[in-house]
Amino acid sequence: MPELPEVETVRAGLERYVVGAKISAAQTFHPRALKTTSIATLKSVIGAKIIAVNRRGKFLWFELDREFALVAHLGMSGQLLVQPITSPKHLHLRANLVLGNSLISPKKSREKIEIRFIDQRTFGWLSVEEQSNGIPTSVAHIAYDPFEHEFDLKAVISDLKRRKSAIKSAILNQGIISGIGNIYADEALWRARLHPEIICGDLTEDEIKKVVLSAKAVMKSAIKAGGTSFDEQYKNVNGESGYFSRSLSVYGREGEPCSRCATLVRRIAFANRSSHFCPRCQR
């Protein structure tokens, strides 16, 4: 599933190409492309101007010159590609937004482009939503992510310290801190030298702080690398894969030596997921 670095990479790519453009056409090609709670069909955004592309955690949304916003969640395999309308259609194209006055590149002649929502497994969605203080309905319950100005590190540490759950489960909780998924949780805990099953209340505030700051640091590095791609299911808006997988220390590296101590990385089942860790560094 795309996590904060992948969604931020997509957001930044969209921002480069679509801000200031007007949506001249919109269409859905699959019944699950539009979220069931959407207040209107995708055609309702026709004629709207894209003011900005925003993100919180794993959610992104198009700020329009309208009272509503267009929200996108990539789910397990969603992609938002920016391509000329003349490009061949993808097999898993679920929806598109045609932009009437945009350039795919400043160096190329003017050509209509479109935002294509590709989703092989159809767990992602688009949604037309009301908003309060610039935050769409489906994003309102999501906690601030570590890159937002409003993120309160002390409050998050205090919240985690009171929890009786395992530290990995807690940092995956999007109501406490948003944007962290399975990949970056494993990487953050490895950097902090903490086992994923340690109970939050058994950790010191300094240890919890180290986990949160480690998560932010590893996600910052991943953003610079364009995110993590293991297959064709995650792409940037230009169709390129991210290459942070080359820098992963434990995630997906079961049976390989830990880069710190050479102990073989282990994988265990954890809360319907897999957790990767070093049994020596993370006791």
3, 6, 8, 207: the catalytic one is: 3
Active-site annotation holds for 88 = no
**Nearest in space to 104 (alpha carbons), one of 77, 121, 84:** 84
66, 273, 279, 280: the catalytic one is: 273
Q: Where are the beta strands (DSSP E) in the chain?
A: 23-28, 50-56, 59-64, 68-73, 78-84, 93-99, 113-119, 125-132, 135-136, 266-270, 273-277
Between helix 205-224 and helix 4-18 the angle, nearest 10°, is: 40
Phi-psi label, residue 34: left if phi above 0, alpha if psi -120 to 50, beta otherwise: beta
58, 94, 210, 216: the catalytic one is: 58
Residues 57 and 136: their CA atoms lie apart, in Å, by 13
Active-site annotation holds for 146 = no
Active-site annotation holds for 58 = yes
Please give the positions annotated as active site.
2-3, 58, 273
